Amino acid sequence: MHLITVDRAYRLLLSTQFIGGDEPWTDPRFRLQLRTNLDPGVILDFRDVKSLQFLASATRGLLAAHRAHSARPKRVDRPTALHFDCF
């Protein structure tokens, strides 16, 4: 498995491309290329629309999870009063 971490410290290159079938026996495909400044990247070729829709659905799920996490009220730590008994 290959892990690519994307955050503010990285520059991200996303490239999309439609590659038509050059020969009659080759299927057209949709290409997504991900690359960061520290990683050689990965190329995803989608040969059917259902797989591409699956990727779009997963991305929408990630965005929804991020919105749900951001919308939760943040827990605020309040100072606690300390009582010391002095003799």
Instruction: Write the Ramachandran bin of 41: left for phi over 0, alpha for psi from -120 to 50, otherwise beta.
Output: left
Residue 83 lies in a domain: no
Residue 26 lies in a domain: yes
Whole-model pTM: value is 0.62
How many independent structural domains does the chain possess? 1
At residue 14, what are phi and psi to the nearest 5 degrees?
Answer: -115, 130
Looking at per-residue confidence, does 43 or 24 come out higher? 43
Query: Which residues form the domain of 29?
Result: 1-53
pLDDT computed for residue 57 by the predictor: 93
pLDDT computed for residue 20 by the predictor: 84
Average pLDDT over residues 72-87: 65
